[in-house]
Structure 1
């Protein structure tokens, strides 16, 4: 899947979050999965959009607990997008 904008990326993540919640996944499991996804993306993907480049740079500099916090904030951001 090609992501051409940050909004497109957020929409994709919103769909995934809604699916996870509909399957009964807890917020803790979702955040842990988001952290694992962040690790994979940081190691394997060269982002094209500036916002994702910033997220990757933050991810690469963060400790494990900072990465979990960043993943949690992204999940909250996506959740607020869904609810508005």
Structure 2
């Protein structure tokens, strides 16, 4: 099962990547910018695999750049709370 097929695995993967980025010295703004680029890619190139991804895609699609940055920031925060 791929990372995108299970939302819990996706959150865990994202949390791990965020932790690595912080360990490399990236600021919260830099991490958010990367997460937004990843969100743009996923929204344009990857079909949602579950209900959570469909909801995120719908929110991404109706939002403007500021909304998408906020959503990316919230996803980062949510993933950080999932990593133990």
Structures share fold, TM-score greater than 0.5: yes
> Structure 1 regions of 5+ residues with no counterpart?
none
Residue 54 of structure 1 pairs with residue 55 of structure 2 = yes
- TM-score (norm. length: structure 2): 0.91
Aligned partners of 2:56, 2:71: CA distance in 1, in Å?
9
Aligned partners of 1:67, 1:59: CA distance in 2, in Å?
6
How many pairs does the alignment contain? Answer: 83
| Over 3 Å off, 4+ runs | none
Residue 78 of structure 1: how far off its partner (Å): 1.2
Aligned partners of 1:40, 1:21: CA distance in 2, in Å?
22
- Written as runs of structure 1 = structure 2, the 5 A alignment for 1:14-53 is 14-53=15-54
> Structure 2 regions of 5+ residues with no counterpart?
none
Aligned partners of 1:34, 1:15: CA distance in 2, in Å?
13
Residue 50 of structure 1: how far off its partner (Å): 0.9
Aligned partners of 1:10, 1:53: CA distance in 2, in Å?
15
